[in-house]
Amino acid sequence: LDVNPIVTENYNIVYYKCDVSKWEEVEAVQKRIVEELGHPTIITNNAGVVQGKLLLDLTPEDVKRTFDVNTLAHFWVLKAFLPEMIKQRAGHVITVASVTGLIGIAQMTDYNASKAAVISLHESLRYELDKR
């Protein structure tokens, strides 16, 4: 993903470039963030790509890319940052999914399925965390 520098005035904003679809990159950037800023108390999962193709026109690579970014990235970010939140018994996870995860639309079958998986992931995580 291309990221332009953030232009700010009187704000303390930092960003880290990372392909969230790759566990190794998420793990590396998590270590940098902790070293430079400490442990975050808020995580926002908001990555997403859309192919915009009919199911029969999707290539295996298209589907893999959609799920890598739209679904697996949520797993990797949670896996990287959640342990410290649990240890500290403090923190918030914000999940951005899509209504298409509940109500499908044409030419977005892979996207819809990936967002349904994200909704289920976070509902399941809520129950896991309730038991702690």
pLDDT in tens, 94-116: 999 999 999 999 999 999 999 99
Q: What is the pLDDT of residue 52?
A: 95
Asked if residue 87 lies in contact with residue 39, where contact means CB atoms within 8 angstroms, the answer is no
Average pLDDT over residues 3-11: 68
Q: Does the annotation count 111 as an active-site position?
A: yes
Instruction: State the total domains in the chain.
Output: 1
What is the pTM (predicted TM-score) of this model? 0.87
DSSP H or E stretch at residue 79: helix 73-88
Tens of pLDDT, residue by residue over 16-39, are 999 999 999 999 999 999 999 999
Task: Find the catalytic residue in 11, 15, 16, 111.
Answer: 111
Evaluate whether residue 30 is within a structural domain: yes
Q: Which domain holds residue 84?
A: 23-130
Give alpha helix (H) positions in 1-132: 23-37, 60-67, 73-88, 109-130
Strand positions, DSSP E, 1-132:
42-45, 92-95
pLDDT at 6 over 70: no
User: ∠ at Cα 69 (66, 75), nearest 5°?
Assistant: 125
CATH of the domain at 36: 3.40.50.720
Evaluate whether residue 41 is within a structural domain: yes
